[in-house]
Amino acid sequence: MSVAEPEGMSVALTGLAACGSGFDYAIARAPQSGMAVSPEPPHSPAAEPNLDSWVIKSARGALESAKATGAVPADRIGLLYLSFWGSIRDTVGYLESLSADGGRYPSPRLFTQSVYSAVASQTVIALGIHGACETLAFVNLPVYRVLQRAWCLLETRRLDLVLAVWADQVDGPAVQLCQRAAAELHHPELARFRQNGGGSVAVALSRAGTASALVHLTLENSPTVLPCGDVATERQAIETPKSSGRNENRVPTAYPTDIAVEFALEILACNRTKSARRWREIDPVRRQQANLLLEAAENRR
Amino acid sequence: MSTDHNHGALAVTGIGMITCQGIGRETSWNGIAAGQVSITSWPHSLPNLPTSPRVAAAPSLPCPDDLRSSFWKSLSRVQQLACLTVDEALMQAKLPRHLDGHSAACLVSSSVCAMDMNEKFYFQYRDDPNHASLSLLKRVHPFELPQLLIKRHRMTGPHYMNLTTCVGSAAAIGAALDIIRCGLAPVAVVGGFDSLCQLLVSGFGSLRLISPTGCRPFSPDRDGILPGEGGTALVMESIAHAKGRGAVPLGYICGYGASADAFHITKPDPEAVAAEKAIRLSLSDAGMTLSEMDYVNCHGTGTRDNDAMETQLYSRIFGEASPVITSTKPLTGHTFAAGGAMETAITLLAMRDGCYPPGPGPQGMHAPGNDGKGGRQMNRALICNFAFGGNNTAIVVARSLERLS
């Protein structure tokens, strides 16, 4: 049995904000796009802000640009948070506290912050959001999948506004480990993590047709599915893509947050030119794609 | 949106479960129904406890026939729990192992994911960076869990991995409701899986939330949680899909509600305002009322803050007309992200067998075999879960759809 994607899987994007230090390529393009990014110079790992401060900053920025603060009841606003690495610095910090002094003084603070969903929890506390809050991970297509979940939450009237936030932070030890693991395990996903830094992209989404939309997004068609087969052997096949298409090269690194930045740039470009655009999300390793139609709100009206 | 005239209820046609009581749905349920406590000592001591903490550990897990043993050993314990419970759930649902003909969605949850392997790697790395086994990092990312299931069972519908700690699998059940009601898939494999690891046990120990002796929710001498491990998988499908293939529903998921306290990173809001909101949202979603609930499977962790919050919550919303309320965590341990799905399964199995899950509640202990108030059969129930960060969920389940239809 095959299921056709419902017609009109659309949402209205009403706000957007981004901040961080890991967006070199995005920052370079930002002046042309007019994107409201808050670039920060690379910090030493010790001085870099915590992931939650980036997430709170971008989520608050998206809410403010959507003019939703106070206009939408707090219990009708929800948060979807996606991170590839989560709070890895705090996780490593907690394990370190567990290893030191024979484990006599494990840090309750670092344990609490190492919990994957702690960043989302800090964010809803900071913003006073009372709707559903979900910390998510997806095998592929991190922008499309989050938008699809947001669409479901809006369509079923569970929420009136969804803040979707993609955020990541990678620092020294994680990068070193990834590089070593990539070489020794032939693990291309890990090879893509080459630099310190991170950041956060947040968008505010409402039901399609919302008057204050910057851009209408239509999730156009189902992405191709994961190759199936014997799990013990399939892994190898999946990790050795045969070719790279033109669009793959547009994504310089593959943090989900970078893909979200790319997406955000397209949204702003669409809104600036008032013309419809298609944005294609590519999973560079698995070579799957999802199409999103971005349509400037004024054009539609 | 779904066109089923049952307030969007979904049929549960398969359950797979592994708990500290044993491997398999019936083994686990029989132990729970009998009120059997199955706890062991955690092999590592905690600084603030005089003895090793007690945990509710699952038994060692056998490799399924279709997987190579070397591959099985390379999986995290959470992945192993998922493989075995999903197999059992699919078998009960009479669905094939490969679901590519069903556009099945895969909606799962874990809070520790592969931390058992990652922490082993980290301790090796700390001792000698050049000799740490990098293969332990293979499962480092949370999406490894849904990826394994998607590929093994050829699930071609939407997927989702929820990492929202103790409400994770309850939220996955809610997402399944949304996805199937919205027509994105007709059937979903939903589950929660969590294993014990040093980070988790010592972390809760560092917060002084682990009981040295066992879990006694709502008791005056309660002193913390019993960390547990296990997994539960559910097959959820639209009623039309279930009917179309002649599947026999074990019960129905009728409604879901979620909310956030926005109060504190670890403590619940003592006033339980958002927790009450989640319950009311789930009832509204199901088209039911509080007075129709025969049973509440409460979160009941055995911590001071949670017990106080829940006692006040149920007293406020039910008043004198309280249904049977029990916590099954003394019998399963607190299985974190697995809890919501596990407690939903326990409630559905109790409905099937015409009894109520035993355990302590705000009104006292409910012994095994108790048949509720005045022998009333359990037809509708609430499952409540509350997590770190003030995340609240409630699920409404029903034995049949008589009233709904």
Give the integer Cα–Cα distance in Å for B371 and B368. 9
Q: Do the chains contact at A114 and B203, CB–CB below 8 Å?
A: yes
Residue B128 CB-density burial (10 A; 0-12 exposed, 13-18 middle, 19+ buried)? exposed
Q: Which amino acid is at A275?
A: S
Of B123, B277, B390, nearest to A99 by CB-CB distance is B123
DSSP assignment of A97-141? HHHGGGGT---HHHHHHHSTTHHHHHHHHHHT--S-EEEEE-SS-
**Interchain CB contacts (distance < 8 Å): A and B:** 216
Residue B370 CA neighbour count, 13 Å, CB half: 19
Q: Do the chains contact at A185 and B137, CB–CB below 8 Å?
A: yes
Q: Do the chains contact at B181 and A156, CB–CB below 8 Å?
A: yes
Residue B340 pLDDT greater than 70, yes or no:
yes
Give the integer Cα–Cα distance in Å for A271 and A298. 9
Residue B332 CA neighbour count, 13 Å, CB half: 42
pLDDT of residue A173: 62
**Contact (CB, 8 A) for B201 and B232:** no
Of B123, B142, B206, nearest to A111 by CB-CB distance is B206
Residue A223 pLDDT greater than 70, yes or no:
no
* H or E element, residue B82: helix B77-92
Residue B271 CB-density burial (10 A; 0-12 exposed, 13-18 middle, 19+ buried)? middle
Going by the DSSP 8-state scheme, the letter that residue A222 receives in this structure is: P
Average pLDDT over residues A158-164: 98
Model confidence over B96-145: pLDDT tens digits?
A: 999 988 999 999 999 999 999 988 888 888 888 778 787 787 777 899 99
Tokens 């204050």, located at residue:
A212
Q: Do the chains contact at B163 and A136, CB–CB below 8 Å?
A: yes
pLDDT of residue A39: 57
| CA-only gyration radius of chain A, Å | 19
Give the integer Cα–Cα distance in Å for A33 and B148. 39
Q: Do the chains contact at A115 and B152, CB–CB below 8 Å?
A: no
Lowest mean pLDDT among A135-139, A278-282, B166-170: A278-282
Which pTM was predicted? 0.92
Residue B307 pLDDT greater than 90, yes or no:
yes
Give the integer Cα–Cα distance in Å for A213 and A207. 9
**Contact (CB, 8 A) for A294 and A277:** yes
Q: Do the chains contact at B137 and A99, CB–CB below 8 Å?
A: no
B194 phi and psi, to 5 degrees? -145, 145
Chosen from A226, A239, A283, A286 to mutate, greatest number of chain B CBs within 10 A: A226
Chain B, 30 to 59: residues with Cβ < 8 Å from chain A are 44, 47
**Contact (CB, 8 A) for B64 and B88:** no
As a whole number, the mean pLDDT across chain B is 93
Taking CA atoms, what residue in B is nearest to A187? B138
Classified as helix, coil or strand, B64 is coil
Q: Which amino acid is at B72?
A: W
Taking CA atoms, what residue in B is nearest to A233? B71
Q: Do the chains contact at A116 and B281, CB–CB below 8 Å?
A: no
